[in-house]
Chains A and B, each alone.
Chain A
């Protein structure tokens, strides 16, 4: 059974850097052709796609976050990460990682989500 688990600080200071990791079990980042994605949900609001990374290292990001966002992969630890710089209160959200198994954002497995609050 494939499981994803987000981890990282729950509180980040304004203008600081948000860093989250998604640990993957039951699947290998080395041995498949999947994309791995990050999605966030501000409190009481809908879902927002952040970006994704392929096992080849290719990435796609939401244009509104371009320049602030980096998604990377550590195959040796079977995890991928999200880094968001210069955060503001607008980045406060529940952050999910997900596995994309097919062309077309088919997110079949999601992590439980981790809440990140941007506040001083």
Chain B
């Protein structure tokens, strides 16, 4: 099982300022098709998770361009260029390189 580790666990931010979340995997997430199967989800308070980023860096439909995903191998990052109040919640990275798919512990973004 691939273990996913996120940092920090808690991220206090000021609106308008940038934010960054790191995610590491215990094995490379590079698949034979050249894609790193790493997704980012945001779970807003009291809500279901929502897809932000897939395949490391592709924004999901409707996701603002202030969200950027990057990384390769075992090291990945989600950056928010300018945090807005609506970005509050818990961010999870998830690997789909091999089953069972696994999530990071989550990073709670607070304003």
Report A's interface with B, CB cutoff 8 A: 39, 46-49, 60-64, 96, 102-108, 110-113
B10 on interface, CB distance cutoff 8 Å: no
Which residue from B49, B55, B61 sits with its C-beta under 8 Å from A47? B49
B41, A60: Cβ atoms closer than 8 Å: no
Bound Cα distance from A49 to B61, whole angstroms: 23
Please, which residues of chain A bring their CB within 8 A of the CB of B51? 106-108
B35, B37, B49, B106: which has the most chain A beta carbons within 10 Å?
B49
A112, B48: Cβ atoms closer than 8 Å: yes
Please, which residues of chain A bring their CB within 8 A of the CB of B41? 47, 107
Please, which residues of chain B bring their CB within 8 A of the CB of A110? 48-50
B48, A96: Cβ atoms closer than 8 Å: yes
